[in-house]
Amino acid sequence: MLLEFFKSSALFILCLILSRFIGLPSNFTPIIAVASFLPFLTSNKYIQLFLPVGVLIITDPFLGFYSSMPVVYFCIFIASLFSVLSKSLSYKNLIFRGVASVFIWHILVNFSVWLSGGLGFSLLNTYIMAIPFDFQLLLSTLIFSTLFYFSREFFINFYNRFNLKSNS
């Protein structure tokens, strides 16, 4: 059972790393969904807190550095922190954590963009111009969170049925 956990965890981490390289549309990423979903996979608070940021740290040297990296890392850490502090492992709570994390992302990352020059736009225009990108982040967070949650439910039910049949 422990070996299966490590295999599935390694596969999950590998998929997350690969998702950074496969050329998804801008801001269409599973990273916040993963940060929100990790409590469903492990009770280890350190993994929940540091795995999503760790994936960014591993992949960003290959993808390139950018001025708002510290703020992006902070936002992903905050998404992870929401998950660690959450008491409920429900779908509703998973979605709430994801939406709240994207909202914080929108506020902090775009403030950082504006602060660093923001292409010469006002703060309000920076926020407005970021809406399509951050909407993609919200959409991807909702899609991946839903995919993770219901895939987990399917496999748990499948395993339970299979296990019940083999024990009969």
- Say how many domains are in the chain: 1
In a domain, 8, yes or no: no
How many whole angstroms separate alpha carbon 118 and alpha carbon 133?
15
List the single range of 75-79, 110-114, 117-121 with lowest mean pLDDT. 117-121
Across the range 114-123, mean pLDDT stands at: 86
In a domain, 128, yes or no: yes
- pTM score, two decimals? 0.88
Q: For residue 67, give its domain range.
A: 29-167
In a domain, 14, yes or no: no
Q: Which two tokens stand for residue 90?
A: 């429900």
The neighbour count for residue 8, using CB atoms within 10 Å, is 12
Contact 106, 1 (CB under 8 A): no
Q: Which two tokens stand for residue 86?
A: 């959450």
In a domain, 13, yes or no: no
Of the candidates 106, 86, 109, 103, the one whose C-alpha atom is nearest the C-alpha of residue 36 is 86
127: Cβ–Cβ under 8 A, 6 or more apart, which residues? 106, 110, 114
**pLDDT, tens digit, 9 for 90 and up, residues 13-22:** 887 888 888 8
pLDDT at residue 119, rounded to an integer: 74
In a domain, 16, yes or no: no
